[in-house]
Structure 1
Amino acid sequence: MIKRPLLLSAAVAALAPAAFAQDEDVIISVTRQPLPASKVGQAVAVLDQTDIDTYQSVYLADLLTHTPSLVVTRNGPPGAAASASIRGAGADHTLYLLDGIRLNDPSQVGGGANLGLIAADDAGRIEVLRGPLSTLWGSGALGGVVSITSRDSHAPLEATAAFEGYDEYGSARTAVGGKTDRFTWRLFGSSVSDDGVSTFAGGSEADAFTQTSLAARGSLAVTDSVTLRAFTTYSRSRNDYDGYPAPLYAFADTGEFGRTATRLSAVALEHRFDKGEQVLSFSESQADRHDFFSDGSEFVARGGIQSADYHILYHVSDATRLLGGVSYERDTMRIASPAPWDPNPTPLSVSVNTASVYGQLTQDVGPATLAVSARHDDSSSFGALDIVQASVSAPVGPFRLHASAGTGVKVPSLYQLYSDYGSAGLVPENGVTIDAGADYVLADGRIGVTVFTRTVRDLINFGYDGCQPAQLYGCYGNIDRSKASGVELTGAYAIGAWTIRGDYSFLDTRNESAGLTGKALPRAPEQLGSLDVDYRVTEKVSLGLGLRHVGDSFDNASNTRVLQAYDLVDLRASYNVNDRVRVYGRIENAGDARYETASFYGQPGRRIWLGVSARVF
């Protein structure tokens, strides 16, 4: 691999100044029980509401780059297909949750979520757990979990609005809500428009992206111990992209485009009792995609998830806690490919049912906390599956030591199982991750180091061996294996009006598949890191500088196509006009770097954003 020294000093983690308090003040909820960071045995980065406002990012993908060991791959500009890799894991090995509900689309090839269509919207908190947590969340949480928590209302009646953009791109967001003794509600809406970048890196045609999102949520305290919660979100997007037109079938500017509509709804009944709480919830999601290609053909897909969950947390004593639950999930996919030569093809409609039971024991042993969890899944597609995980966190003087070992899984998608290229005999991908680290906690910050190793077997990939006679163009199989290890340095420090935070990761990834042994995993750079420096000039004015380095990587498994390293510089400023109005701005990619996260796909150059946010009442 082409190597280049990292020019950023190692240091500093993605935590806002307000998060420099002791670990007991930073509560982690992705563990399915609220725990102080000092009691969590895995590496978790937290972006709170202050972080989200400070970084000013419109898209979730941009916010996530402020966390360690995470690299984003975009097949083009905003709105194009995108994915995040944590510690070099596969694109579908990160599980995304919105208020505890999966954001998966079963009609996607890998059955995961398209990060390119997830805006920051009304996010008030983001937790990024590095490593597996499949025992508690199931499939997809093999490499990591991204948990998004929406903002809530805190006043009897409140409303906010924000507008930002410049030239050919912009966004608008508005929210209104209220809170009484018994009832809390919030309505949110947003609109994003962007038409400044060509999907094809060598193209001259700008590919537009538009998205409109609506959300509503409410919480009713039926009694002092019973609460009913419900929320629904709806998003509609259109994105232009480029393709491979005849007769050359080479990547070029085209008029191809796609439309996507997603809907997510959930209702939960919570009951609190002396020793804990129990929650019964129902959720349903649906994603409708319609792609239009240059040759007149189309691709129509609908993916849906229906689930029912029961979850309980029980405090046996102050030192012993039990959590567990049962769930039932039904995933559905309906796909068709109309074309001028076949305008009414018979759609493929399939579904998979999975029943699960999971549990975890959390035990305080002196100042240390030990957690052991297990899960059993029974699926109509792959049968029974059992996985386990354990972690420990222990304070030793000014240090917090933590370690974990566990199994993560990613079940085969409906497309990989039942499409024309599918193989019904696929088994789940499974990986074992072991990590350990230490955080040195200071009065004004922290420094941390974590080392990890991960082995994944039965990886699903596309190939030509072992296919059915009718699968002339290939099929999916459990044909790959991989290993990864690395070191993560994190830290944060506040001195006077200055706040410094960032991270650095060194990753060593190896393919262990037949014919590829010793090759680096695709799109897994050896080095990556970020550095954020914020300076509060006055009580009203703050300035910020963001640096990000992504090292060289390969774009293919054979390691013949190199993605060159790149460095991005962001500048930001904010001015509080009064306690209601804030004006802000930023320059993204201030150095106008030309780079690719996937070969031949364009990325935005220098961009200026100007914005204003207001608390209307």
Structure 2
Amino acid sequence: MRNELIASAATAALLLAANAASAQTAAAVTDPSLLDDVVVTANRSAQPADRVGQSVTVLTAETIEASQAVGVADLLIRTPGVTLSRNGGLGSVTSLRIRGAEADQTVAIIDGVKLNDPSGTGGGFNFGNLLVGDIARIEVLRGAQSTLWGSQAIGGVVNLVTAEPTEPFQANIAAEAGSRGTTYLRGAIGGAGERATWRLAASHYNTDGFSTFARGTEKDGYENFGLSGRANIRIVDNVSLDLRAVYSNGTADIDGFAPPLYAFGDTRETSQTKELVAYSGLNFDLLDGRFSNRIAYAYTKTDRLNENPDQTVTPVTFDSEGENRRIEYQGVFDIRDGWTATFGAEREESEFTSASPSSFTPNPTPATAEAAINGVYAQLQAEVAPGLTLTGGVRRDDHDTFGGKTLGQAAVAWALNDGSTVLRASFGQGFKAPSLYQLYSDYGNTGLRPEEADGWDAGVEQHVLDGALILSATYFARETTNQIDYVSCPSTATPAAQPLCFRNGVRRFGYYNNIALSEADGVELAADYEIGAFWINANYTQTNTENRTPGANLGRELARRPKEAANLTLGYVWPFGLSTSVAVQHAGDSFENASNATRLKGYTLVDLRASYPINETLEVYGRVENVGDEIYETTRDYGVAGRGTFVGVRARF
């Protein structure tokens, strides 16, 4: 192993004419909405960062490119407050948690469309199939944000924006290859004219992979094909039409429970996921541009099919389809300098179909259901004194099953000392109705109650050394009632003692139920330093979670939430143009289950990256992932990638 490590490090030193420096060499972004000192997600309109009271991390195009990340989740886990658990490699179920909230309590948005999957377990979004592709900007908004973003935004919001051209003609292409038979191809073309802006992008990723089962020997591969497109047509000076779409088709080899003992191990099972995201919006400005309006229709569809050729009666083990339709209006009115009102109304309709065939029930009756929710919201942001910005908002949701709920939110941002010191604090409420899957699937419970949360945070951001060093510290806390969790049924269950373990007289493996109360609090620390050719980014998060429900698990930590997480990246741009960096990611111990009976040990991963711009058009890059060949688990019994070496080339035209 030592020789392999030396060989990989030597290879990295030679080929790492690569990417970490691309943060320095990439072309400047002229669109102000893509700058890191502007925040869009917090207020659903572009605002200077020092006027935003919520905690936000912005990843710009340069940062994304420099990371050389393939999966979006691998980018997000390096930001404060974010942890994940994954059932194998890329393409497998990936649960993203912000500040210790459940994975389905995070809202994901791409190009203005909410990415929830009504057929998913919690109705949330599985980040496993989301590759970086043509994404040019990511904002991670932490804390309860349901006032503007609706149901699910208890932990936070992840907003993803695909690239938009700024020149009459632009094109780029990238290709990389490396360990485990991996190849990744990406390309895009587009242009910006006086009346129209458009861009089309495509990608293909393929890998032989590694065993999804941690102790398995069979390789589990993954293939993903992606397309995205966007167009903005300016009909007249103050009226424009937005059209956007993102499509992906991913097939992953997975491991499961094989006969005759039905123990978890190597199988030939596959999981295919097709995802379509579509958006059309009409934008029109009134009152000399002071009053911006948007009327939009958004649509998502997720098809999932799992098949096991060794299952004799039927190869299908899981089949589901989820659709979501959203009609919305949003207005942004500049009342006066420093005062902005944001308001809107939306209707969301969801439906799902789900079935889990097996050798025992090869033709089960699919579970089907639908639900709708109407919402209205309003928010006022006002600079009441020089540098002091107050934000307050309210939302009213009306769910066709669970009735109405009113939520509130407030935030303050105070920029002092010419903006070198920024104080922030916010309070927000969250509300999430049970998903259709949690209510009506084979594991459903129609007696579930909606989840509700109150969260707050307070922090300070300090710029020193003429802005070369930025330090920040934030304390956060959240209390969630009626949190929904999966409860396993023991083989000894009886209808009298555990009636929810039985449906139509047949015992089932488990069901969903409410936890009365859970709590989370912690601290987020971050530092960014750049001096000359040297730069450093670091963050540390401590997250304390606790189940406060009376019973056997009272006082236990919530499952799969590392108490500590830290990231460190050191980079240097050499005088001859080569950029090199080392990235360290650490996650502390966590527990696999609610009873805290099984511990998942912490781990530390080290990556090496480099890039070299041959000229203004062409750049070569490379990286070594998991240099120490660390073996670890984010989910019990599921494998992780070992050491891997990758090289690539990028071209811009």
Q: Deviations over 1:225-279 (max 9, x none)?
A: 1110101121111111111112222211111111111111110001122322000
Look up the SS of the partner of 2:148 in the other structure. helix
The letter for the 2-side match of 1:394 is: W
What residue is the counterpart of 2:593 in the other structure? 556
Shift of residue 399, structure 1, vs aligned partner: 1.5
How many correspondences in the alignment? 600
The letter for the 2-side match of 1:170 is: T
Shift of residue 344, structure 1, vs aligned partner: 4.3
Shift of residue 343, structure 1, vs aligned partner: 4.8
Task: Say whether 1:182 aligns with 2:204.
Answer: no
Task: Say whether 1:370 aligns with 2:390.
Answer: yes
CA contact (8 A) 1:169 1:193 kept: yes
What residue is the counterpart of 1:11 in the other structure? none
Tell me, in whole angstroms, the C-alpha distance in 1 between the residues paired with 2:410 and 2:145: 10
Tell me, in whole angstroms, the C-alpha distance in 1 between the residues paired with 2:73 and 2:338: 38
Look up the SS of the partner of 2:649 in the other structure. strand
Shift of residue 613, structure 1, vs aligned partner: 0.6
Which of 301, 313, 326 pairs up with 1:286? 301
What residue is the counterpart of 1:145 in the other structure? 157
The letter for the 1-side match of 2:407 is: I
What residue is the counterpart of 1:7 in the other structure? none
CA contact (8 A) 2:305 2:316 kept: no
Please list every run of 5 or more consecutive structure 2 residues that lacks an aligned counterpart in the other structure. Answer: 1-21, 490-497
The letter for the 2-side match of 1:177 is: G
CA contact (8 A) 1:536 1:543 kept: yes
Which of 497, 504, 526 pairs up with 2:540? 504
CA contact (8 A) 2:36 2:58 kept: no
Task: Say whether 1:470 aligns with 2:470.
Answer: no
Shift of residue 420, structure 1, vs aligned partner: 3.3
Shift of residue 339, structure 1, vs aligned partner: 4.6
Tell me, in whole angstroms, the C-alpha distance in 2 between the residues paired with 1:418 and 1:245: 26
TM-score by length of 1: 0.94
What residue is the counterpart of 1:448 in the other structure? 472
CA contact (8 A) 1:105 1:303 kept: yes
Q: Deviations over 1:556-613 (max 9, x none)?
A: 1111111111100010000000000000000111111111111110000001110001
* Shift in alpha-carbon separation, 1:291–1:469, aligned structure 2, 3 A: closer
Shift of residue 69, structure 1, vs aligned partner: 1.6
Shift of residue 336, structure 1, vs aligned partner: 2.5
Identity %: 39
What residue is the counterpart of 1:241 in the other structure? 254
CA contact (8 A) 1:381 1:424 kept: no
The letter for the 1-side match of 2:441 is: S
The letter for the 2-side match of 1:254 is: T
Q: Pick which of 100-109 and 422-431 moved more.
A: 422-431
Q: Deviations over 1:318-377 (max 9, x none)?
A: 132111100011001012234566554433221101111011011111121111111111
The letter for the 1-side match of 2:369 is: V
Task: Say whether 1:579 aligns with 2:616.
Answer: yes
Shift of residue 539, structure 1, vs aligned partner: 5.9
Task: Say whether 1:35 aligns with 2:47.
Answer: yes
CA contact (8 A) 2:170 2:190 kept: yes
1:233-382 matched pairs, under 5 angstroms: 233-273=246-286, 274=288, 275-293=290-308, 294-295=310-311, 296-339=315-358, 342-366=361-385, 367-382=387-402
CA contact (8 A) 1:529 1:549 kept: yes
Shift of residue 45, structure 1, vs aligned partner: 0.6
Shift of residue 134, structure 1, vs aligned partner: 0.7
Look up the SS of the partner of 1:255 in the other structure. coil
* Shift in alpha-carbon separation, 1:339–1:597, aligned structure 2, 3 A: closer
What residue is the counterpart of 1:173 in the other structure? 186
What residue is the counterpart of 1:95 in the other structure? 107
Tell me, in whole angstroms, the C-alpha distance in 2 between the residues paired with 1:559 and 1:344: 37
Look up the SS of the partner of 1:222 in the other structure. strand
CA contact (8 A) 1:245 1:251 kept: yes
CA contact (8 A) 1:175 1:187 kept: yes
The letter for the 2-side match of 1:279 is: R
What residue is the counterpart of 1:406 in the other structure? 428
CA contact (8 A) 1:500 1:531 kept: yes
Task: Say whether 1:132 aligns with 2:144.
Answer: yes
Task: Say whether 1:200 aligns with 2:221.
Answer: no
What residue is the counterpart of 2:37 in the other structure? 26
The letter for the 1-side match of 2:355 is: A
What residue is the counterpart of 1:118 in the other structure? 130
The letter for the 2-side match of 1:81 is: V
CA contact (8 A) 2:353 2:366 kept: yes
* Shift in alpha-carbon separation, 1:491–1:201, aligned structure 2, 3 A: same
Look up the SS of the partner of 2:256 in the other structure. coil
CA contact (8 A) 1:297 1:340 kept: no
Shift of residue 139, structure 1, vs aligned partner: 1.3
Tell me, in whole angstroms, the C-alpha distance in 2 between the residues paired with 1:141 and 1:539: 46
* Shift in alpha-carbon separation, 1:466–1:343, aligned structure 2, 3 A: closer
TM-score by length of 2: 0.89
Q: Pick which of 289-298 and 375-384 moved more.
A: 289-298
* Shift in alpha-carbon separation, 1:244–1:342, aligned structure 2, 3 A: closer
CA contact (8 A) 1:321 1:362 kept: yes
Look up the SS of the partner of 1:570 in the other structure. strand
CA contact (8 A) 2:209 2:222 kept: no
Q: Pick which of 532-541 and 239-248 moved more.
A: 532-541
Which of 79, 91, 98 pairs up with 1:79? 91
Please list every run of 5 or more consecutive structure 1 residues that lacks an aligned counterpart in the other structure. Answer: 1-14
Shift of residue 525, structure 1, vs aligned partner: 1.3
What residue is the counterpart of 2:17 in the other structure? none
Shift of residue 166, structure 1, vs aligned partner: 1.1
CA contact (8 A) 2:35 2:60 kept: no
Tell me, in whole angstroms, the C-alpha distance in 1 between the residues paired with 2:422 and 2:436: 42
The letter for the 2-side match of 1:418 is: Y
Which of 423, 428, 434 pairs up with 2:456? 434
The letter for the 1-side match of 2:392 is: V
* Shift in alpha-carbon separation, 1:180–1:298, aligned structure 2, 3 A: same
Q: Deviations over 1:145-179 (max 9, x none)?
A: 11001101112122111001214112100001111
Look up the SS of the partner of 1:417 in the other structure. helix
